[in-house]
Amino acid sequence: MSNSTQTLDTIDFAGKRAFVRVDFNVPLKDGVIGDDTRIRAALPTLEFILNGGGSVIAATHLGRPKGQVVEELRVAPVAAHLQKLLDGKAEVISAPAVRGSEVNRLAANLKPGQILLLENLRFEAGETKNDPALAHDLAQLANVFVQDAFGTCHRAHASTAGVPALLKPAVAGRLLQREMEAFELAFGDAKRPLVAVIGGAKVSDKILVLQRLIEKVDTILVGGGMAYTFLKAQGGRIGCSLCEEDRLETARQIMADAKAKGVDLLLPVDHVAADAFSATANILICEGDLEDGWMGLDIGPKTQQLFSDRLKQAATVVWNGPMGVFELQPFSAGTSKIALVLAESDCISVVGGGDSVAAIVKNGLQDRISHISTGGGAFLEMLEGKELPGIAALK
């Protein structure tokens, strides 16, 4: 945690109304929540405030209504589910709007132990534009700001940057605190060897990440589609695998920078290849070059072993991005292998990114990973070394 960022423990919430930016952007279909992980993740913060004698004005976005009221994206089902999870510990009141006279009345009449959940923030066009008027209307509802939506901290929106600029004190909630502490463990005074596992489709998506990691880590393991741009940049034949032709020189520079810094950058030595992008395609395991007509869709068994050996030697591991086309069963083994090795290790493990987290969850390994990030884009930007607007606003 940055010394200039306060936490819940610095505030006496007795008699106070806390505006808590939460991330309840959950999968919702026909009023049924498909996965309530994000709601559960906010409970420690909400319960701390309520147990301290405070009340909560919770604010979230849901889906992408783009400034319009979309009936299917109302937060009423979320409010009902939150009430169920609290199991009688607090009363949840669903606000009819994001702002306005009725919202002001409900906020003013909140009693300790009550939660007012505002309507979908993105029903207001000014939310994503960081509209000062919207930020003012939200800020005047409470007397403390709590940021607990790490997944939105990389966006300078009205509720993430505008409100904390006006409403002080502004502090980090438990979820955000855990995210910041995990990054401090990984990049502050990390236990070494420090290994980064980076996957995904494109080098262009991870250039800044790789450049920063070269300054921080001992080893970088590169998998996923992006590995084939590196392999071709080395002069290898990659068949019809994914490749960013305009990033070949970038890949060469990254490899040269890693070598100059004494960082081992390891690429796949074998591949699970297919003759089509399909779960029913013909498949072969091949080492070295790929022939025309074949595409690499996962790391092969020798690469899995190579990467596993490095991970078993690591004291700290940061992982972002899949090793192959994880959503197709024949090409998920490499990603699952990384997840299993991390779970079996006693290293400090910090994991973020949709498919990386999905591999952890799919294999039931959640409780064996040191930290699983709740933010996709925010996690990536933290890896890039950027200061996130939602965090900067707390200082």
Whether the predicted pLDDT of 31 surpasses 70? yes
Whether the predicted pLDDT of 340 surpasses 90? yes
Q: Tell me what the pLDDT averaged over the chain comes to.
A: 96
Question: CA 331 → CA 150, 211, 283, distances in Å?
Answer: 31, 28, 10
Check whether the bond before 132 is cis (ω within 30° of 0). no
List the CATH number of the domain containing 106.
3.40.50.1260
Tokens of 304: 């899995």
Tokens of 390: 């939602």
- Residue 335 inside a domain? The answer is yes
Helices (H) and strands (E) in the chain, counts: 14, 17
Q: What is the DSSP letter of 277?
A: S
Question: CA 83 → CA 56, 69, 91, 99, 340, distances in Å?
Answer: 13, 23, 7, 22, 35
What is the mean predicted confidence (pLDDT) over 24-44? 93
* 148 and 252, same domain (yes or no): no
- Residue 394 inside a domain? The answer is no
- Which is more confidently placed, 228 or 35? 228
Q: What is the pLDDT of residue 1?
A: 56
- Residue 391 inside a domain? The answer is no
CB 52 within 8 A of CB 18: no
Q: Which of 355, 349, 381, 358 is nearest to 152 (CA)?
A: 381
Whether the predicted pLDDT of 43 surpasses 70? yes
Helix, coil or strand: residue 74: coil
Distance CA 202, CA 222 (A): 11
The last residue of one of the domains, among 143, 177, 211, is: 177
First-to-final CA distance of the chain: 11
* Percentage of residues in the chain having pLDDT higher than 90: 92
Distance CA 175, CA 179 (A): 6
Q: Which of 32, 86, 34 is nearest to 58 (CA)?
A: 86
* 255 and 162, same domain (yes or no): no
Taking only the tens place, the pLDDT of each residue in 48-69 is 999 999 999 999 999 999 999 9
What is the mean predicted confidence (pLDDT) over 382-388? 92
Question: CA 231 → CA 253, 299, 338, distances in Å?
Answer: 13, 13, 21
What is the mean predicted confidence (pLDDT) over 210-225? 96
Angle at 64 between CA 59 and CA 70, to 5 degrees: 85
* 269 and 376, same domain (yes or no): yes
- Which is more confidently placed, 13 or 362? 13
* 165 and 202, same domain (yes or no): no
- Residue 302 inside a domain? The answer is yes
pTM of the model: 0.91
| Residues in the chain, total | 395
Helix, coil or strand: residue 286: strand
**167: containing domain:** 8-177
Residues taking part in catalysis? 38, 202, 354, 377
Number of folded domains that form the chain: 2
Taking only the tens place, the pLDDT of each residue in 132-146 is 999 999 999 999 999
Whether the predicted pLDDT of 326 surpasses 90? yes
Distance CA 269, CA 229 (A): 14
Whether the predicted pLDDT of 334 surpasses 60? yes
The last residue of one of the domains, among 148, 177, 206, is: 177
CB 281 within 8 A of CB 274: yes
273, amino acid identity: A
Q: What is the pLDDT of residue 4?
A: 74
pLDDT band with cut points at 50, 70 and 90 for residue 3: low
Distance CA 237, CA 385 (A): 33
Q: Which residue reads 């066009």 in tokens?
A: 125
* 140 and 204, same domain (yes or no): no
